[in-house]
Amino acid sequence: MTAVAPAGIRFHHGSLAVPAGAIHTTPLGYDRDSVPIGAPLPLAPSAELVHRLSGCGEIVVAFEGKLGDTLLALSGVRAVLDRLRLRSVRVTVRAVGPYEALIARTGLITQPQDTTPSGRRAVIGDRTGIEAHGSGAAVSLVLDPAAPPCWSSDGRAHPDLLARHYLALERRLGIRLPGTAPFAPPFTTGPNDLVEELRSAGWLGGLSIAAITATSWPERKDYTAQRYITLAEHIAEAHQAQARLLLIGGNPGDGLRITAEAPRRHVQVLRLDGMPADHLADLFPHCHLVVGNDTGLTHLAAMAQGRDGSSSPVIGLYARHSHSKWRTGLPHHHAVATDLSDHMHQGDLCPVRDAIAPDTNIHMDAFPSTALAQVCLELLNGVRP
């Protein structure tokens, strides 16, 4: 179930399953729980795809587009590799493009080999990545976020993109794969000099909050630094503590920029602009809470794990797009959503793809800082289910 926040926005806990009858779904076509792992599905596979993949000695993971789309498509890469492992097909896996270092943290990538991979090459990625690296490949798989529907099986809906991509590939490959919800490959973290510098300077002690201001659509998705500062002030005042707020911005064009603002009564603010995504993966697990819009860095925060396997609670803010499709499906990845976002979720719609204009001009100011602070406090205090 969901909870209504004081201002009428709704909080959706990441651990709550969505019943198949509650939203628009496409039946998977088989009772997944009743099919043993490795067994053929009661659906015909894509014979040509299976044949071409079976003869490949190398898998190239090639994403060139948006970070968020890339992260939520990695379950599709995992599905292909799971299928090859079930059939004992040995392959070399490497990533190319701007997310090479980040994807290497997932465990999907094998160690480089001195010898040239035998057999043909398969390329998996987005359209831009396939165009850049797919020449001469035996098979190319485009993982388009608009393609897979919201599947349902065993009375449960699978609305998040990680589940959509994985189950779509399972159907096409015609074999019950071992993955279960959530289908996200974990991002491992390790020692990081910049993170240690932040810790030594006191920014990761006490009540530390990361807020993501970076977005590819600022006029629609930027909650703004000032709103995040106000949010942190509400949280800190309720905790009767000084909060450290890390404002995570995009690339200003001149590399990494770190700027500390003058201390406020309850909040100390540090702006981190242009910090590489693979470094942020090391930073997020050290924060008590991460808040952001439905952008790639928010998804990354949810997928990043500390060395002990723990992850920070993450809240995504969804004004226009479906809060369920554009999440990771991980139990600590929550959503605060407007009615429009709920409608997009229920009907499996997209305001851009389906050209749905809202009745009112909905922006990120739909989330008052006082109402959002109440949600954050209940999560931090363990009140939310």
Predicted confidence (pLDDT) per residue in 236-265, tens digit: 999 999 999 999 998 767 788 999 998 888
What is the total residue count of the chain?
A: 385
When pLDDT is cut at 50, 70 and 90, the band that residue 137 belongs to is very high
pLDDT at 28 exceeding the cut of 90: yes
CATH number at residue 257: 3.40.50.2000
Backbone angles phi and psi of 338, in degrees to 5 = -85, 175
When pLDDT is cut at 50, 70 and 90, the band that residue 355 belongs to is confident
Whether residue 162 sits in one domain with residue 206:
no
pLDDT at 187 exceeding the cut of 60: yes
Whether residue 352 sits in one domain with residue 223:
yes
Whether residue 285 sits in one domain with residue 166:
no
Whether residue 80 sits in one domain with residue 120:
yes
Mean pLDDT taken over the chain: 90
Domain count, the chain: 2
pLDDT at 3 exceeding the cut of 60: no
pLDDT at 29 exceeding the cut of 90: yes
Torsion of CA 83, 296, 268, 383, to 10 degrees: -60
Would you say residue 181 lies in a domain? no
Over residues 156-169, mean pLDDT: 98
Over residues 215-225, mean pLDDT: 77
pLDDT at 88 exceeding the cut of 50: yes
E strands, 82-169, where?
92-96, 120-125, 139-142, 151-153, 156-158
Tokens encoding 366: 């739909």
Tokens encoding 243: 């909060």
- Residue at which a domain ends, from 124, 140, 173: 173
Would you say residue 182 lies in a domain? no
Whether residue 213 sits in one domain with residue 121:
no
- Residue at which a domain ends, from 146, 173, 200: 173
Q: Within its chain, how far is the Cα of 333 from the centroid?
A: 9
Least confident residue range of 4-18, 50-64, 226-240, 272-286: 4-18
Whether residue 303 sits in one domain with residue 234:
yes
Over residues 180-209, mean pLDDT: 90
Would you say residue 23 lies in a domain? no
Whether residue 375 sits in one domain with residue 292:
yes
Whether residue 261 sits in one domain with residue 120:
no
* Contact between 346 and 24 (Cβ < 8 Å): yes
pLDDT at 116 exceeding the cut of 60: no
Whether residue 7 sits in one domain with residue 49:
no
Would you say residue 107 lies in a domain? yes
pLDDT at 74 exceeding the cut of 80: yes
Q: Which amino acid is at 276?
A: P
* Contact between 26 and 151 (Cβ < 8 Å): yes
- Residue at which a domain ends, from 110, 142, 173: 173
Would you say residue 24 lies in a domain? no
When pLDDT is cut at 50, 70 and 90, the band that residue 55 belongs to is confident
When pLDDT is cut at 50, 70 and 90, the band that residue 147 belongs to is very high
* Cα separation, 194 vs 354, whole angstroms: 43
pLDDT at 362 exceeding the cut of 80: no
Would you say residue 180 lies in a domain? no
Would you say residue 22 lies in a domain? no
Whether residue 156 sits in one domain with residue 70:
yes
Whether residue 167 sits in one domain with residue 142:
yes
Each residue's pLDDT tens digit, 148-159: 999 999 999 999
Annotate 48-66 with three-state secondary structure.
HHHHHHHCEEEEEEECCCC
Model pLDDT, residue 262: 86
pLDDT at 6 exceeding the cut of 50: no
Over residues 87-92, mean pLDDT: 89
The domain in which residue 133 lies consists of 31-173
Tokens encoding 178: 């071992």
Would you say residue 153 lies in a domain? yes
* Cα separation, 340 vs 357, whole angstroms: 10
DSSP designation for 284: G
Whether residue 254 sits in one domain with residue 121:
no
Tokens encoding 102: 């980040």
